[in-house]
Amino acid sequence: MSKLFLSGTVEAVEDVTARMRRIRLAGVPDLRWTPGQHVRVRVGTLTLRTYSIWDYDGHLDLCVLDHDTGGPGARWAREAMPGQRVSFTRPEGRLVPREDAPYHVFVGDATASVPFGAMLRALPESVPVHCVIEAEDRLPMPREVIWTDNLLDTLRALDLPSEPGIAYVAGEARACQSARAHLVRDRGWPRRSVAIKPFWTPGKRGMD
């Protein structure tokens, strides 16, 4: 196996929502990661798919959203079973909690709920958090979440302190841009206070 890849064994598979599966990989000791990061999983001979880490405690937990496609990522998640070997890259990504903030705002869709859950779990209970997620598939989250069917309207109505905090915006690309524009243009936040991570774009291949 290439030195670029680590490996683990599927220990358990669980449906946590109607379209979200938790896949637990065992045999992954001493993995260095920061909540919010992702790994790239080999789902075919030459095919990689990116999945955010839900949790790690000696076991690596991935929560994979089934986008109802017939692509290789969807097939891998549906067919994963205990005993199966899995290759993946080391954790990476810059969508991680920042410490220098009076409060934290999380804005995203179902694809953002996995990294958001890990990030929320890592923040001290004393740190104020505002979290808005547009999703039908609702993961059990460690902090209070406003679940909505209209992300931008809910964000606009959110009662935030006048002082800017730190915002993490993730999910569909155009929705991410609109959310950032609202925080910067309408609320006067500095652009550096908004971390944006587009996870998908309608019609783009490889998002399954």
Number of domains the chain is built from: 2
* CATH code where residue 124 lies: 3.40.50.80
Residue 180 in any domain: the answer is: yes
pLDDT of residue 208: 54
In a domain, 173, yes or no: yes
Global pTM value: 0.94
166 & 189 share domain: yes
Residue 181 CB partners (closer than 8 Å, separation 6+): none
pLDDT above 90 for 11 = yes
User: Which stretches of 35-106 are DSSP H helices?
Assistant: 72-79
Pair (125, 177) in one structural domain: yes
β-strand pairing of 5-15 with 85-89: antiparallel
Q: What is the CATH number of the domain that holds 24?
A: 2.40.30.10
Q: Are 92 and 33 in contact (CB under 8 A)?
A: no
For residue 95, tell me if it sits in a domain. Answer: no
CA distance 201 to 177: 12
Is 170 a member of any domain?
yes
Q: Domain ends where: 47, 64, 89?
A: 89
Does residue 122 share a domain with residue 53? no
Q: Residue 38: give the domain boundaries.
A: 5-89
| Distance (Å, whole) CA 39 – CA 52 | 6
Alpha-carbon distances, residue 46 vs 41, 49, 117, 207 (angstroms): 11, 10, 30, 16
The CA–CA distances, whole Å, from 27 to 8, 16, 159, 182 equal: 5, 22, 44, 44
Q: Which two tokens stand for residue 156?
A: 């606009």
Could you report the per-residue pLDDT of 127-174, keeping only the tens digit for each? 999 999 999 999 999 999 999 999 999 999 999 999 999 999 999 999
Is 115:195 a contact under the CB 8 Å cutoff? no
Token pair, residue 205, equals 């291949």
The tens digit of pLDDT for each residue in 73-131 reads 989 999 999 999 999 999 999 999 998 899 999 999 999 999 999 999 999 999 999 99
**Residues whose CB falls within 8 Å of the CB of residue 173, separated by 6 or more in sequence, listed in order:** 198, 200, 201
